[in-house]
Structure 1
Amino acid sequence: MINPVWLRSFCVLVEEGHFTRTADRLHMTQSGVSQQVRKLEEYLGVALLDRQGKQFTLTDAGGCLYKEAQEIVQALSDLAEKVAADPTYEGNVRLMSPGSVGLKIYPKLLALQKRHPGLAIDYRFAPNSDVERYMVEYNADIGLMTRPSSLPEVNSRPMASEELLLVTPFMNNAPDWQELLTLGYIGHPDGHHHASLLLGANYSQFLNVSMFAQRGFSNQISLILEPVSMGLGFTVLPAHAVRAFHHPKLISAHRLENPVNETLYLITRRHRNLPARMNMLVGEIRRWL
């Protein structure tokens, strides 16, 4: 493989037409420039210059090499700039979060991407366990979880909090324990976690979600409240998901006597220095939440 440093020195020499000016431009000695050109000739097995004292002309081989080498040297220069560049509003970002917070921030992310077309945002809604797994497997850059990660490869820190709400078919007052038992439960991927936090803090009879008859289950955040709105059961969801429901008059969101706020954690791969576009996105998400 041709040494790219030799190629660059040769191209500059052709452009300057003089060993002294070339040495000055490359911050080298004249003998250093001459030595690199000779090494290039030895490697290729052809003469590149017809030397006349301190002057020279290009041989046919030298002219051919210069024509081809210009693009190579420029491409290598561009590559170095691209690798070193760290633009704030360009590049890909892979983001994952539970669906509730996603319903709140995804429209804002799309608006940000529209303002900065160089950004490409891959956003996936997923339960905590999947967000954590994708992070460990290097398939996500930034994650949001409703609990801190327990894995040594993952760094997590509190970012915001989100209120949990008991959601029932439309009724005026918060249901008592017996009404919840009668209604039954509509499950979702983070449902056991949410219900345990909120119901455990407000109903002394509560032990676990299995105490309720399960009337349905959905892993689509936008569909979890559909069966609730039809009177098929109750559930517990973060406030962002409740506010996004498109039939709000068919449900009741209850703030119970003992409010519970769920902490949202930012998770990243431990010891990874995030590029500028990802730090920008983290800052925007923090502001939105």
Structure 2
Amino acid sequence: MINPVWLRSFCTLVEVGHFTRTAERLHMTQSGVSQHVRKLEERLGQSLLIRDGKQFTLTDAGTRLYREAGAIVAALSDLDRRIGADPAYEGVVRVMSPGSVGLKLYPHLLALQQRHPGLSIDYRFAPNSDVELALAEYRVDVGIMTKPSSRNEVGFKPVGEEPLLLVTPTSLVEPSWDRLMALGFIDHPDGAHHAGLLLGANFPEFHHSNQFPLAGFSNQISLILEPVSRGLGFTVLPAYAVEAFGRPDRVRTHRLANPASETLFLSFRRNQPLANRVRTVITTMGEGLGLGAGESGQIV
């Protein structure tokens, strides 16, 4: 492989047209410049310059080398700046979270991208276990989870609480155990967990969600309330998922006497410095969760 330092000396010599001034520009000796040219000629097995006293002209090989090497030298010269650059509003940021909080945060991040088109938001909806694994395997930059990570390589910090809500058809004004049993449960991937937290705190009869007749199941966060809106059953969902439902007048939300909620944990790769663009996204996520500018800027 050709030494890039030799190429830089050769290209600078061609541009300056004088050995002494080239040496001054590169902070070298004139003999050092000459030596680099000779090493290039030896490496390529061809003469690059036709010398005439203190003057020179390029051979055909020298002309071809200068044409090819110019872009290489320019790219190498700019490499330090490009590698060291850490812009706050440019580049891809990969985010992953469960669906409910994703419905809340994604519009905020799209608005951020509209203000700064150099940013590209890659947002994936996934359960906690997938978020945790993706962080551990460097497949995402930041995540939200609803439980602390059990992996040593994944750090986390609580950033908010998301209330859990009982959602029924509008016809049910006062929920009771018997009425819920008559309706049946619209299940979802976190249905048993959410029902256990909220219904277990409010109904002494409750032991597990499978006590209720199964009235339906959906694994699409935006569709779970669709069967509820049609009077087919009830469910328990985080508040952000309920807020995102497009027909709120067709369901009834109940806040029970004993509230229950899930803690939201900002999750990240432990001991890995965060790029400025990731910090920008984290700040916007914090604001989307209702944190003040100062709080959201100090999440990690």
| SS of alignment partner, residue 202 of structure 1 | coil
The whole-number CA distance in structure 1 between the counterparts of 2:32 and 2:203 is 83
Task: Specify the alignment match of 1:25 in structure 2.
Answer: 25
The secondary structure found in structure 2 opposite 1:282 is helix
Question: Which sections of structure 2, spanning at least 5 residues, go unmatched?
Answer: 290-300
Percent identity, please. 65
Alignment of 1:135-214 (within 5 A): 135-171=135-171, 173-214=173-214
CA distance in 1, matches of 2:263, 2:284: 18
Instruction: Tell me what 2:293 maps to.
Output: none
Q: Give the count of matched residue pairs.
A: 289
Letter in 2 for 1:19: F
2:95 is equivalent to residue 95 of structure 1:
yes
1:253 positional shift: 0.9
Distance 1:23 1:200 in 2: 81
User: Comparing 182-191 with 28-37, which one deviates more in the overlay?
Assistant: 28-37
Relative distance call for 1:270 and 1:174 in structure 2 (3 A) is: farther
Task: Please state how far the C-alpha of 1:250 moved relative to its aligned partner.
Answer: 2.1
**SS of residue paired to 1:284:** helix
Q: 226-235 or 174-183, which moves further after superposition?
A: 174-183
Output aligned runs, 1:1-289, within 5 Å: 1-171=1-171, 173-289=173-289
CA contact (8 A) 2:112 2:284 kept: no
After superposition, the C-alpha distances for 1:58-113 in whole angstroms (9 at most, x for unaligned) are 33322232122112212333444333322222211221111111222222222222
Cα displacement (A) at 1:220: 0.7
Query: RMSD of the alignment, in Å?
Result: 2.0
Aligned mates of 1:85, 1:177 — CA distance in 2? 60
Which stretch of the first structure deviates more once superposed, 58-67 or 4-13?
A: 58-67
Residues 27-79 of structure 1 show CA distances to partners (whole Å, capped at 9, x for unaligned) of 33333322222211111112222345554333332223212211221233344
Q: Normalised by the size of structure 1, how large is the TM-score?
A: 0.91
| TM-score, normalisation: structure 2 | 0.88
The unaligned stretches of length 5 or more in structure 1 are none
Comparing 160-169 with 76-85, greater Cα deviation is found at 76-85
Cα deviation digits, residues 96-137 of structure 1 (max 9, x gap): 111111222222222222222222222122222222232233
1:150 Cα deviation (Å)?
A: 1.0
Q: What amino acid does structure 1 have at the position aligned with 2:3? A: N
8 A Cα contact 1:174 1:256, kept in partner: no
